[in-house]
């Protein structure tokens, strides 16, 4: 059962080949057996999962149907889940139990999904390797000495290891797409505002976006269908109709215009990954697509702009964690100032502290105009670059990451080199565009992903291209040894 995709599980449940409760117990046993190898879960919710599975089986017995009814999944541990620890991978929230469900959690629960647990992540979603978690590093199932990517590394590792068919993730600068690429999954970052952020603990509010992580584009389409939609509780949610994403999967790619940015193939890209990207282009050309070179001239400014904007917003968002209302509180504070200082120093890890300091500096008097305001101007230039490119092409294709997964600890002393791993992904967040990563081969036994970007609200187009590519390739079907 654990090798079935989400779509196959949905068909099996509909045909009564097995029950949701049977499947849930198989996967919970598998998690108990194998997760100690990869550390992909922070919290398991066996009782909740069993109750939800039984309820889903009862709904099916009563004649109800639905693609997600009875399907097991897990949530990244920054989605609030009522009565269950929501830690954000941090000591700061180790004792926090959310009093309500995030909109994403509530919508998927209403659709009948079964929550197996909460997955490990970089602390407060700050990282590209899932090494900054208070609960320890997550390991890549393809090679346990290597990182799975981050910050949604727990969700990625769990799905890649076949512990469950799909999981939720969030993407602030590539945190769905990058771990998807490094673990051989399909991961989708929707258009900013397509999926509600209500109940999703914020890192950088103008960049964060929730999305699905699964093995296939078909599975991502099913999961996005359950997640997307307008939410009046989220002021940044877009009131835009949600199409039937599964209905467009089989559309022809004849005449599809694919743009290849010339700036993507610079010195920082592993030439073996470049070769696999070009091989994927050839496969899409066989399916009828046409390829055109485009330019994103401000791409080089994306990393510095992002690492001003994101930390600035993080410093503001994380100011609420002060040891007073909820979260970690230091022992025996001498006074209010001591309470603030020690609670935050003890509760936040080094990477979170680094970004808070950078963000506070960028927003401080005398530096706001020089840093934050300039970064926002660059952000607009990047958006304009994409608008010009999409006037000529339908999708943009390139590498998801410049390198395959690196060894755990290899970049700990050089955070800048870790930041550069987001080179290809952060532009979609700065511009608010939808982006998808799909499996495209292997380098030294480690997975490589190809990224697709599309105009606003064209998630269906991305899923269509990825599904057609997966219909003629088998990279996405490969399973890591031992899992």
Residue 213 belongs to a domain with what CATH number?
3.90.1300.10
What pLDDT, on the 0 to 100 scale, is given for residue 266? 86
Q: Is residue 139 part of a domain?
A: yes
Write the CA distances from 104 to 111, 195, 229, 411, integer angstroms: 11, 8, 10, 33
Q: Report the distance separating Cα 327 and Cα 329, nearest Å.
A: 7
Q: Is residue 215 part of a domain?
A: yes
Q: With contact defined as beta carbons under 8 Å apart, do 125 and 168 qualify?
A: no
Q: Could you tell me which residues come within 8 angstroms of residue 401 by beta carbon, excluding any fewer than 6 positions away?
A: 149, 178, 181, 182, 273, 421, 424, 425, 448, 449
What pLDDT, on the 0 to 100 scale, is given for residue 99? 95
Q: Is residue 238 part of a domain?
A: yes
Q: With contact defined as beta carbons under 8 Å apart, do 434 and 194 qualify?
A: yes
175 has catalytic annotation: yes
Tokens of residue 247, six digits: 């209905």
152 has catalytic annotation: no
pTM, 2 dp: 0.96
Q: With contact defined as beta carbons under 8 Å apart, do 140 and 182 qualify?
A: yes
Q: Is residue 414 part of a domain?
A: no
CA dihedral over 78, 81, 82, 83, signed as positive or negative: negative
76 has catalytic annotation: yes
**Torsion from C-alpha of 41, 47, 50, 51, nearest 10 degrees:** -130
Q: With contact defined as beta carbons under 8 Å apart, do 137 and 408 qualify?
A: yes
Q: Is residue 392 part of a domain?
A: no
Q: Is residue 243 part of a domain?
A: yes
Number of domains in the chain: 1
Residue 274 CB: number of other CB atoms within 10 A? 16
| pLDDT digits (tens), the chain, 483 positions | 899 999 999 999 999 999 999 999 999 999 999 999 999 999 999 999 999 999 999 999 999 999 999 999 999 999 999 999 999 999 999 999 999 999 999 999 999 999 999 999 999 999 999 999 999 999 999 999 999 999 999 999 999 999 999 999 999 999 999 999 999 999 999 999 999 999 999 999 999 999 999 999 999 999 999 999 999 999 999 999 999 999 999 999 999 999 999 999 988 999 999 999 999 999 999 999 999 999 999 999 999 999 999 999 999 999 999 999 889 999 999 999 999 999 999 999 999 999 999 999 999 988 888 899 999 999 999 999 999 999 999 999 999 999 999 999 999 888 888 888 999 999 999 999 999 999 999 999 999 999 999 999 999 999 999 999 999 999 999 999 999
Name the catalytic one among 20, 40, 151, 315.
151
What pLDDT, on the 0 to 100 scale, is given for residue 325? 86
In the block, tokens 């199932």 appear at 141
Domain that holds residue 227: 6-253+436-477
Name the catalytic one among 175, 196, 246, 280.
175
What pLDDT, on the 0 to 100 scale, is given for residue 329? 96
Name the catalytic one among 19, 20, 40, 76.
76
Q: With contact defined as beta carbons under 8 Å apart, do 208 and 174 qualify?
A: no
Q: Is residue 167 part of a domain?
A: yes
Q: Is residue 381 part of a domain?
A: no
**Torsion from C-alpha of 219, 220, 225, 231, nearest 10 degrees:** 150
CA dihedral over 164, 165, 171, 175, signed as positive or negative: positive
What pLDDT, on the 0 to 100 scale, is given for residue 437? 98
Three-class SS of the chain:
CCCCCHHHHHHHHHCCCCCHHHHHHHHHHHHHHHHHHHCCEEEECHHHHHHHHHHHHHHHHCCCCCCCCCCEEEEECCECECCEECCCCCHHHCCCECCCCCHHHHHHHHCCCEEEEEECCCHHHCCCCCCCCCCCCCCECCECCECCCCCCHHHHHHHHCCCCCEEEEECCCCCCHHHHHHHCCEEEECCCCCECCCCECCCCCCCCCEEEEECCHHHHHHHHHHHECCCCCCCCCCCCCCCCHHHHCCCCCCCCEEEEEHHHCCCCCCHHHHHHHHHHHHHHHHCCCEEEEECCCCHHHHHHHHHHHHHHHHHHHHHHCCCCCCCCCCCCCCCHHHHHHHHHHHHCCHHHHHHHHHHHHHHCCCCHHHHHHHHHHHHHHHHHHHHHHHCCCCEEEEECCCCCCCECCCCCCCHHHHHHHHCCCHHHHHHCCCEEEEEEEEECCEEEEEEEECCCCCHHHHHHHHHHHHHHCCHHHCCCCCC
Q: Report the distance separating Cα 267 and Cα 247, nearest Å.
A: 40
Q: Report the distance separating Cα 97 and Cα 141, nearest Å.
A: 30
Tokens of residue 102, six digits: 């995030």
């Amino acid at each position: 059962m654990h090798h079935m995709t989400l779509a196959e599980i949905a068909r099996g449940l509909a045909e009564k080949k097995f029950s949701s409760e049977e499947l849930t117990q198989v996967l919970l046993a598998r998690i108990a057996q194998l997760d100690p190898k990869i550390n992909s879960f922070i919290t398991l919710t066996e009782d909740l999962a069993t109750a939800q599975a039984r309820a889903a089986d009862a709904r099916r017995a009563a004649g109800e149907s639905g693609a997600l009814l009875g399907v097991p999944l897990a949530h990244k541990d920054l989605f609030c889940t009522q009565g269950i620890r929501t830690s954000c991978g941090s000591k700061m929230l180790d004792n926090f139990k959310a009093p309500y469900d995030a909109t994403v959690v509530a919508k998927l629960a209403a659709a009948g999904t079964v929550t197996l647990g909460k997955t490990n992540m970089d602390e407060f979603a700050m990282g590209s390797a899932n090494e900054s978690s208070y609960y320890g590093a997550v390991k890549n199932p393809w090679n346990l000495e290597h990182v799975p990517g981050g910050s949604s590394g727990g969700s990625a590792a769990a799905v890649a290891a076949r512990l469950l068919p799909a999981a939720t993730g969030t993407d602030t600068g590539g945190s769905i797409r990058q771990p998807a690429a490094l673990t051989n999954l399909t991961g989708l970052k929707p258009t900013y505002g397509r999926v509600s952020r209500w109940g999703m603990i914020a890192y950088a509010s103008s960049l964060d976006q929730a999305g699905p992580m699964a093995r296939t584009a078909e599975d991502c389409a099913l999961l996005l269908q359950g997640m997307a939609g307008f939410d009046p509780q989220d002021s940044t949610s877009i009131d835009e109709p949600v199409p039937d994403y599964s209905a467009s999967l089989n559309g022809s790619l004849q005449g599809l215009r694919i743009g290849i940015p010339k700036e993507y193939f610079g010195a920082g890209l592993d030439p073996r990954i470049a070769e696999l990207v070009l091989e994927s282009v050839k496969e899409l050309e066989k399916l009828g697509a046409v390829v055109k070179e485009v330019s994103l001239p401000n791409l080089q400014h994306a990393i510095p702009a992002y690492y001003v904007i994101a930390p600035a917003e993080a410093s503001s968002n994380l100011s609420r964690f002060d040891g007073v209302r909820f979260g970690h509180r230091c022992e025996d504070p001498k006074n209010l100032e001591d309470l603030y200082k020690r609670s935050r120093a003890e509760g936040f890890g080094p990477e979170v502290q680094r970004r808070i300091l950078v963000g506070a500096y960028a927003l401080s008097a005398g530096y706001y105009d020089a840093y934050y305001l300039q970064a926002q101007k660059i952000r607009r230039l990047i958006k304009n670059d994409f608008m010009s490119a999409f006037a000529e092409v339908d999708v943009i294709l390139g590498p998801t990451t410049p390198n395959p997964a690196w060894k755990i600890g290899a970049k700990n002393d050089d955070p800048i080199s870790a930041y550069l791993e987001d080179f290809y992904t952060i532009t979609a967040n700065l511009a608010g565009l939808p982006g998808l990563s799909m499996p495209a081969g292997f380098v030294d036994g480690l997975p490589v992903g190809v990224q697709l970007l599309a105009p606003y609200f064209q998630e269906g187009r991305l899923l269509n291209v990825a599904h057609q590519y997966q219909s003629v390739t088998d990279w996405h079907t490969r399973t890591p040894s031992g899992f």
